[in-house]
Each structure stands twice: as structure tokens, then as C-alpha cells.
Amino acid sequence: MKVIELSQGGGGAESQQLVQQLFYRYFGNEILLKSEDAAVLSLQGQSAFTTDSYTVSPLCFQGGNIGNLAVAGTLNDLAMMGAAPLYLSCAFMIEEGLPFSTLEKVVKSMAEELKKTDARIVCGDTKVVPQGAVDKLFINTSGIGQIQTTTQAMPSAHQLQIGDAILVSGDIGRHGAVVMSARDNMNLHSDLKSDCDVLWPVVEALINKGLSVHALRDATRGGLAAVLNEWAQTSQVCIEVEEDKIPISDAVQGLCELLGFEAYDFANEGTFLMSLPCSQVEEALAVFQQFECTQQAAMIGKVSEFQPGLVVLQTPWGSQRVLELPKGELLPRIC
Amino acid sequence: MSTLQLQDLYQGFRQPKTIQALAHKIHQAAQSLSSPLRIMEVCGGHTHTIMKYGLNQLLPENIEFIHGPGCPVCIMPKERIDHAIALAKMPNTILLTLGDMIRVPGSKTSLAKQRALGSDIRALYSPLDALKIAQENPDKQVVFFAIGFETTTPMTAAVIQQALALKLTNLFFHINHVLVPPAVAAILSDSVCQVNALIGPSHVSVISGAQIYQPLAEQYQMPIVVSGFEPVDVMQSILMIVEQVLQERHEIEIQYSRAVTEQGNQKAQEMIQTYLEPRSHFRWRGLGDIQLSALQLKEAYQFIDAEAVFEAVLSDEPIDDHKLCICGDILKGVAKPQDCKVFGRGCDPTRPLGSCMVSSEGACNAYYRYAEVALRSVKPIERKQATA
């Protein structure tokens, strides 16, 4: 079996070979192939810049792998600022002994994910470290995008307004549930797939529709609960959510029932939350209907003055509770 | 043929109309109560259900919940957690335990922090995984820090049985299994105790049978209803308790009849009795020392008993809770979490001072997490809906 060796990160002939045969092959574009010390970019107007490091165990899961995450995650961070993704950097930290086929699979997934927008990988780095120094493969990507929301205020956690509607773009918790089920000590099987996806096409359509999007955030680690809490605290408003309106798939709910979790705390990698005036809900939902990944989109609540700084869940039988910010590791309940 | 869907398993038990109808019936019946009803839900799972689904908001003012001691993580005294940490610190050792035991602080540190310092500490999803881990690591000593009430004890007994059958010489057991009836009796026997009815645990009763509460019902003359964990279960159980009180009955009734019998799971009970026996006493966090309230390995199995094998690194010096902590009073129903001076100030789920703040099933933790709305003002319109 062909595996990655320390020499392939050493900067010499083996490194060059890896870069040319793998990374240039899949990511190649005019800027990257210049092979300079830094990429030279032309930017116009306001730009957004973001970075994120990716580590996931196992590397490959149902519905994707670390490569899909590393590209979609950074593209989505740009999209959530209303920025069209343009340029990405990409750094690999590889544990020696990683099968070449695994790395190639990851790189191929990244290239496929990139095709969903006009973004290109324009610079990169490869390190190979001794066994045990990293867990198989870590990836860092940074991204630059051009802000498109020229006519409206940029979406922000500070912008939520009393009376706004809160929308979610799809059913929640799939990525977190898939990764948890895939851990080798869980021994759980289902057809569930991660929601990992690139969200810019949906966001672009929402912007082009001229909607006044007040806040936009992908519900990654910490899930829906973390985003809503951050919004409620930052804008000092109450977010009242109707529990039975939140879309959750059977498989995700099943895992939650089994282990005592709540889907609100699970990570998503292609699902976002949006706050906008109530009067624009119908138009927004119509946009969501045009895309395959947002068919389950729904209005789940509203912004009010009830308990500023808190997220309140309304149960279908008339009681209410605080939806708290997830704390600590997700550990199953005992009985 | 139609297949069983997940919703079929729980949807009926979370049906808004059913919950509201039960709330209505409880309100009607409770008007005839001559004195306030203070129901202790013994099990932490019920505390969780009540707070998560906001069931306390649906009840009339003369019915209140007193949150009992049934959270295995919460009641673990600091000296036992220190045992787990001392065991984990031994060289060449893997320490195994369940769920949120990992984050509970002992006297100085927690297993989570010890793990960050490099100890091999793992949370198991199934206790049987302990066998595989011991087999895969023949050159290491593997210690299973076993916790839980009657519910989880049979699993530990099964692991012991398998470990003996497989002749594993590197798997040891630190037994912290505790018993519901002695702890409840200790609370009820206190003269200041305000509890006058019990919601009996669900899964403890699946194993031990509803019979284990008979002495409590007789001695303390109170209704006991063994309830399921879903909101409809708990609401129906409350209605059954109110009806018992109005009819001046004090019986054991099983609401959770889809899983609980009078006798329980006798095979599981036999398995427990094969390997484990009552411990002369066990110190409960928040309640203190209670005789015959926990289990230990029988003498014949001392060679796999971590408390015997690793005695040299384990101290039995009792360590008290913080002096401002009033967990004992909360468990007896004499105080509510918000009566505590340190609630939400010196003591919160990230830095618990006392037992009830430790796990999501503890009363203080549940109040802290879910009840902020109730502690502030409840919206008039929702309150009206809730009591309609």
C-alpha cells in the first residue's frame, strides 16, 4: 500500500512530486500553478476574509469526508457574510503512514466541492509529521470573498430586530449525528448522511431577491442552540422558538432518544439560520424551495422582547423552557 | 406489512392534547386536596423530563415537585471520585466509566482534567466494551469504575461474568452501584421532610420490580406511582397520585406497565446476587452515610475488586461538600435550589460545589439550565394556555 512518508513533507524532490501529482492535478489554476511564494490577487470593493482548521474522526463519514468539510466550511463562512467566495488557501498537516488513496480521496472531494462556486485554491502548504503528532490528517483553509450585499446592511449577529422571523434552511443535526454514529465504539448503523454542503448558491439567490437579511449564520459546532444563543445575547433580544416547527429527521431524533441528546446541540455543516422581517418569510421560503439542499427550510420562531438575551422554547402543550448554550463535551446520559 | 416507525414509540407519549387534557384533570381533582401535595420524583430521569418539558408549569399551585436523590453521578461523594482519579493516575492503566462521570469534580480535580494531563480515561457507551478494551490491551491494567442505581447494575454483573469466563486477568472493577430504597427511606425518615407522595423510578423498577417500594408505602403511608419517562407518563402518574390522596389510599401503582412488573427482571437480579452483596455503608453526597445503601463485590471476587487490589493508592477519608451547600435540604424538600446562597453564583454546572448541580439530572442543575424563564416572569398568555 502506498503511504505518505516523512520525506514528502521535507521540501525536496518527494515533496514537489506530491504537490505536482496530487494537489496541482486536482486544484490546478492559473494563480496556483505560478508556484510563487504568495498568490497575487485583485480585489474590488469590500472583502471578507476567514480561516478555519478542520479535524474530524473518522476522516470519512456518510455524506462526505474532511475534504468536503474543509472547503464547504470556509466557503460557508464567507457566504454567511454575504460574500461571494473567490480565493482559498489550503494547508495539509499529514501524519506519516496515511494511505495515499485516503489523501487522494480527500483532495478529490475538495475539488468537487470547489466546483459549486467560482472559488479557487490559490496557495497552499504541506507538512508531514511523525506518527502520533497529528491524528491522520488536519486541514486548514482560509478564504477571501467579495461582499455582495451592497444595497443592504451586512448580515450581523448585532442586527436582529424585534418582530423578525427566524428561519432554518433545513433539518438539523445530521452532521453531528453521523459523526457520532461513525465512531468505532458506537456500532450504530443508519442511512443518515451528513448535511455537508456549499451554501453560497442559496445565499446568493436570497441576496438577489433583495431580501433584508438581518442575520445569517451556519449552525456548525454547538448547533442551532449555539447560534440562537449568540444572537439573543449579542442583539439583547429574546428568540422564541416553537419546538414542533424545528425540522429534525427521524434518524437524528432516534439517535437523540437513544443517547439522551438534543438535536439542537448537534453540529451541522450545510444548514444555516436566518433572521429577517416577518413580511419577507414567504419570499425567502420560495427561494429555499429552488434548491435541493434546503427543501426542509422552515420558519421556526420569532424575535421578541420577552426575555432579552435568552432563547425560549415553546412546547406544543403550552409550557416553555430556556434553550441553553451547549456546555462541555457531548456525553451520553447514563440511564 | 407496516414497519415500526420511531415516532410510534414516543409520539403518543408527547401528544399535546393528551398532556393538556391530563393537566386539566389534575387541576380539577387538585381543587379537592385539603393540603398541598409535595411529590418527590426519586429518579433523575424524571427530574430531567419535568424540567425539559416544563411539566411543573402545567400544575396547580398546590402540587409541587421535590427533586429526589436518583442521579448516580450527583450522589457520588468526592472521595469516590478521588478514587477514580487515583486509579487513572496509576502507570499503565486505562480507566473506564460511563457518561457524565467524566466531568464531575472530586476534591481537587475531575476525570476530564486528569485525561487532559495524559491519563487514559474513556467513557463507555456500553459496559460490555470493557471486555474488548481489556482484550486489546493485555499489557495494561483496565479498571471499570462502575456507577449507577439498580438500572445499570445488571450490566456490570454481565461484564464481571464475561470477564471471568474469558479469564481476563487485567480487568478490575471499582463498584459504586447504589440502591434506591435505602436512600429514599433516609430522606423520608427525617422529621423535617416535606414529601407526601413518590413518583417511583422507571428503569430501576424494570430490574427490581415495583415490590421494592412496599416497605416505604407501608411505613410512610404515602402513594407511590411507578412512572415512565415521557411527559404523558409523568402527568398520568401525578393524576393517579392525586386520586389516591383523595381516596385516602397509599398504595403502589404501576403507571409504567409497559415495562415494569411487580417482581421485575429476576434473571438480572440473580446475576447481581451472584457477584455483588450489600456494602455495610456508603456515604452519599448531600445525604451522608446510609447503611446498606450500596453494593460491593463479594469476597470471593476480591482478585478483580479494584478497591482491594489497588488499596494502596485509595484513601477512604470522607470529604465534605462546601459548607454553604444545602443539597441535603433540597433533597428533603425543605429548600429549593434558588434558596441556596451560592446557587448560580459560586455554584454552577461548570463549577458545581454540591451534588445537585453536578449532572443534568440534579435538581440545581436542571433549575439552572431550564428554569430561568420560570424564575423570571412567565408570560401571562402562556400561563393561561398552560392551565386551561
ipTM over 0.95: no
Is the minimum CB–CB distance between A57 and chain B shorter than 8 Å?
no
Q: Which of the residue ranges A62-66, A249-253, B2-6 would you say has the lowest mean pLDDT?
A: B2-6
What pLDDT shows up at residue A106? Answer: 98
Cβ-defined contact of B112 to A310 (cutoff 8 Å): no
pLDDT tens digits for range A103-154: 999 999 999 999 999 999 999 999 999 999 999 999 999 999 999 876 667 8
Tell me which chain A residue has its CA closest to the CA of residue B21. Answer: A317
Helical pair B363-370 and B44-52, crossing angle rounded to 10 deg: 10
DSSP conformational letter for A223: H
The widest CA-to-CA distance across chain B, in whole angstroms, is 67
Residue B91 preceded by cis peptide, ω within 30:
no
Q: Quick check: helix, strand or coil at residue B328?
A: helix
Residues in chain A, total: 335
Yes or no, beta carbons of B6 and A318 under 8 Å apart? no
Return the closest-CA partner of residue B160 out of B274, B258, B237: B274
Which one of B382, B384, B387 makes the best mutation probe of the A interface by having the most chain A beta carbons within 10 Å?
B382
User: How many Cα atoms are found within 13 Å in the side-chain-facing hemisphere of B171?
Assistant: 26
Contact flag A328-B152 (C-beta cutoff 8 Å): no
Rounded to whole angstroms, the Cα distance separating A75 from A69 reads: 10
Q: How far apart, in whole angstroms, are the C-alpha atoms of residue B229 and residue A330?
A: 21
Q: Do B7 and A320 touch (CB under 8 A)?
A: no
For A6-147, CATH gives 3.30.1330.10
Q: For chain B, say whether A100 makes contact (Cβ under 8 Å).
A: no
Q: Does B367 touch chain A (CB under 8 A)?
A: no
DSSP A63: T
| Cα gap A102→A22, rounded to integer Å | 12
**B30 vs B104: CA distance, rounded Å:** 39
Find out whether A218 and A142 touch, Cβ atoms under 8 Å.
no
Among B156, B198, B148, B261, residue whose Cα is nearest residue B46: B198
Section A166-188 average pLDDT: 88
Stretch (H or E) spanning B111: helix B111-116
Chain B interface includes A328 (CB < 8 A): yes
The secondary element (H helix, E strand) that includes residue B116 is helix B111-116
Locate B364 and state its grid cell.
440545581
Element (H, E) at B253: strand B252-254
Cβ of B372 within 8 Å of Cβ of A319? The answer is no
**Single-letter amino acid, residue B158:** A
B118 backbone φψ class: left, alpha, beta (φ>0; ψ -120 to 50) = left
Same fold flag, A6-147 and A164-322: no
Go through the domains of chain B in sequence order and give each one's CATH number.
Answer: 15-68+182-254 (3.40.50.11750), 78-177+265-313 (3.40.50.11740), 327-375 (no CATH)
A317 to B149: CB separation less than 8 angstroms, yes or no = no
B45 touches chain A (CB under 8 A): yes
- How far is the C-alpha of A47 from the C-alpha of A24, rounded, in Å? 26
Helices assigned H by DSSP within A195-314: 200-208, 223-235, 250-259, 281-289
* Percentage with pLDDT > 90 across chain A: 84
Domain boundaries, chain A: 6-147, 164-322
Task: Compare all CA atoms of chain A with the CA of B49 and give the residue at the minimum distance.
Answer: A260
**Burial profile A283-296: b = 16 or more Cβ within 10 angstroms, e = fewer:** ebeebbeebebbeb
- The residue with cell 456500532 is A187
The answer to whether B164 and B274 have CB atoms below 8 angstroms apart is no
DSSP state, residue A256:
H
Distance from the A304 Cα atom to the nearest Cα atom in chain B, whole angstroms: 12
Please provide the average confidence, as pLDDT, over all residues in chain A.
Answer: 93
Give pLDDT tens digits for B263-282.
999 999 999 999 999 999 99
B106 SS3 class? coil
**Looking at the complex, does the CB of residue A233 fall below 8 Å from at least one CB of chain B?**
no
Global pTM reads 0.88
Q: Which residue has the higher pLDDT, A44 or B170?
A: B170
A164-322 folds as Phosphoribosyl-aminoimidazole Synthetase; Chain A, domain 2 (3.90.650)
pLDDT at A310 over 80: yes
pLDDT digits (tens, 9 = 90+) for A24-53: 999 999 999 999 999 999 999 999 999 999
Closest approach of chain B CAs to the CA of A315, in angstroms? 7
Arithmetic mean of pLDDT, B52-66 = 93
